[in-house]
Amino acid sequence: MNADDLPSDLARAFPDTPGELRRLHDRLAAAAERDGILDVAYRTVDSPVGPLLLAATEAGLVRVAYASEGHDTVLQALADRISPRILDAPARLDAPARELDEYFAGRRRSFDLPLDWRLSAGFRRAVLSHLPEVGYGHTASYAAVANLAGHPKAVRAAATACATNPLPVVVPCHRVIYSDGRIGRYLGGPDAKRTLLALEATA
């Protein structure tokens, strides 16, 4: 054996074992959940509006993110704002994933999930908390939503609240459009907003 080969032979003698690592990772996620140290669990789900990142604290669903937001960027923001103790741990997201599946299949008109609102505060949160009142298949204007939140003149602020909704799809900011019919800003882009409105119009 060549003297210089031994270190690289060593690496080969203890090779990567991806299947084993995946199993150990899942075991870690289960143990972290059991020990109460999994501050944020996440998974991604496929949908007609692209892959969605779902993240939940122990209190409930805290973030839904479109691919266009950059899932890694969103996870880093969750680490900065909530806690870096974050794992890809699908079990906690079973109920949200199932309800979103039903929604995209046209079999669900409202979501029945515990929500963690901590990423939204003040007037924005007030606006978002009223959005479920805009029913499935309907739309409302930003002015109407500002009115629902108790500040009829705060139309721009209502628009900002919708555009920064941490829980898109589940909290239906896609149902809020301009009174002249323009579709308005949307986290997932205008095409995603149109897709959701079309889904709700036909289902």
Partner 1 sequence: MTGKQPFEAVVTQHGATVLRVCRAVLGPADADDAWSETFLSAMKAYADLRADANVEAWLVTIAHRKAIDVTRAAARRAIPVAETPDTVAADAADGSGLDGDLADAVAGLPAKQKQAVAYHYLAGLPYADVADIVGGSADAVRRAAADGIATLRRTYPGAAATKEETDERG
Footprint of partner 1 (CB under 8 A)? 1, 3, 6-7, 9-17, 20-21, 24-25, 27-28, 31-32, 35, 37, 40, 42, 75-76, 78-80, 83-88
Whether residue 173 lies in the annotated active site: yes
Q: How far is CA 156 from CA 16, 89, 121, 168, in A?
A: 53, 37, 16, 19
Q: Which two tokens stand for residue 190?
A: 């205008």
Question: What does the alpha-carbon distance between residue 40 and residue 87 come to, in Å, rounded to a whole number?
Answer: 7
Closest CB 69 distance from partner 1, rounded Å: 15
Closest CB 119 distance from partner 1, rounded Å: 16
Strand 176-177 with 140-141, pairing: parallel
Nearer CB in complex with partner 1: 33/101: 33
Helix or strand holding residue 42 (H, E): strand 40-45
Nearer CB in complex with partner 1: 6/105: 6
Closest CB 7 distance from partner 1, rounded Å: 5
* Candidate list 74, 127, 134, 173, residue with the active-site label: 173
Residue type, 143: A
What residues act catalytically? 173
